[in-house]
């Protein structure tokens, strides 16, 4: 082997081992994880360090609460810190997003349809209609299957318009408090619905060594605020990585 070839080989080895991949608007993987009732793809894109702390960010679950799309977009353009395996799912309800309505195309509130502590609630047309059985909807099935595969250490789910984050205890409380502080979102308990079949509750009870919380954004979100939230996601992920 020529000296230059050896050098090139060494350089490759050094590059691969000493300098971990840092992604800036470069993704490792893009997937369609399922299809909505009306046939729209549900997409997930992976950034950062495979094998690191698995963080999943869900931009939209209620279609008429879509400010989270700006945050997943900002995150896709961010430099992901080392040791963070970041998955972005802009919307798990692409029909609701397209139609600008809370429910999916079957009029089911997906955030009442998850298979943990599911309960019958309402009929089609009711704002919290839970579907006719647990995980009845293709969107719910898709995200359940996907999360069972990636096993998130941290899940962040965006909603609107309450502008609050519920406080938590232990490390989860610290993660929530850090996020709250970085984005100036008050820590206050979320009330006002009947919370059965909720996505984040399913996530936290399925992956019990992981953490998850809802961020209730305000009624609108500027590009600057979206960048602030994207930075807060990464800082919260770093806090978890280093804990
Ligand atoms: Zn919501």
Summarised one tens digit per residue, pLDDT across range 200-229 is 999 999 999 999 999 999 999 999 999 999
Q: Looking at the domain assignment, is residue 203 inside a domain?
A: yes
Q: Looking at the domain assignment, is residue 224 inside a domain?
A: yes
Burial class of residue 163 (count of CB atoms within 10 Å of its CB; 0-12, 13-18, 19+) = middle
Q: Looking at the domain assignment, is residue 229 inside a domain?
A: yes
Q: Looking at the domain assignment, is residue 164 inside a domain?
A: yes
Q: Whole domain around residue 190: which residue ranges? A: 23-241
Q: What is the CATH number of the domain that holds 215?
A: 3.40.630.10
Separation CA 20–CA 49 (nearest Å): 8
pLDDT in tens, 23-52: 445 788 999 999 999 999 999 999 999 999
Confidence of residue 159 (pLDDT cuts 50, 70, 90): very high
CA–centroid distance, residue 17 to ligand 1 (Å)? 43
Confidence of residue 120 (pLDDT cuts 50, 70, 90): very high
CA–centroid distance, residue 110 to ligand 1 (Å)? 10
Residues in Cβ contact with 180 at an 8 Å cutoff, skipping those fewer than 6 apart: 165, 186, 187
pTM recorded for the entire structure: 0.88
Q: Looking at the domain assignment, is residue 107 inside a domain?
A: yes
Domain count, the chain: 1
The predicted pLDDT at position 27 comes to 80
Question: Mean pLDDT across the stretch 144-162?
Answer: 97
CA–centroid distance, residue 5 to ligand 1 (Å)? 57
CA–centroid distance, residue 241 to ligand 1 (Å)? 28
Q: Looking at the domain assignment, is residue 113 inside a domain?
A: yes
CA–centroid distance, residue 66 to ligand 1 (Å)? 9
CA–centroid distance, residue 184 to ligand 1 (Å)? 19
Q: Looking at the domain assignment, is residue 122 inside a domain?
A: yes
Q: Looking at the domain assignment, is residue 11 inside a domain?
A: no
Percent of the chain with pLDDT over 70: 90
CA–centroid distance, residue 157 to ligand 1 (Å)? 9
């Amino acid at each position: 082997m020529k000296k230059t070839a050896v050098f090139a080989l060494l350089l490759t080895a050094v590059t691969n081992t000493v300098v971990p991949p840092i992604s800036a608007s470069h993704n490792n993987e893009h997937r369609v994880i399922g299809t909505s009732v009306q046939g729209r793809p549900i997409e997930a894109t992976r950034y950062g360090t495979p094998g690191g702390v698995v963080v999943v960010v869900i931009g939209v679950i209620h279609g008429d609460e879509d400010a989270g799309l700006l945050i997943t977009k900002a995150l896709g353009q961010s430099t992901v810190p080392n040791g963070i395996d970041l998955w972005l799912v802009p919307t798990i309800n692409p029909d609701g997003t397209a139609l600008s309505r809370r429910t999916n195309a079957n009029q089911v509130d997906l955030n009442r349809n998850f298979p943990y502590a599911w309960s019958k609630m309402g009929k089609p047309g009711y704002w919290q209609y839970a579907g006719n059985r647990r995980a009845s909807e293709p969107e719910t099935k898709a995200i359940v299957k996907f999360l069972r595969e990636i096993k998130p250490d941290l899940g962040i789910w965006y909603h609107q318009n309450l502008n609050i984050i519920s406080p938590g205890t232990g490390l989860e409380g610290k993660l929530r408090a850090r996020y709250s502080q970085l984005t100036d979102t008050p820590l206050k308990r979320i009330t006002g619905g009947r919370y059965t079949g909720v996505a984040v509750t399913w996530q936290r009870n399925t992956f019990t060594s992981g953490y998850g919380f809802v961020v209730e954004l305000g009624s609108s979100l500027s590009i600057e605020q979206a960048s602030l939230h994207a930075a807060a996601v990464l800082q919260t992920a770093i806090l978890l990585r280093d804990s």
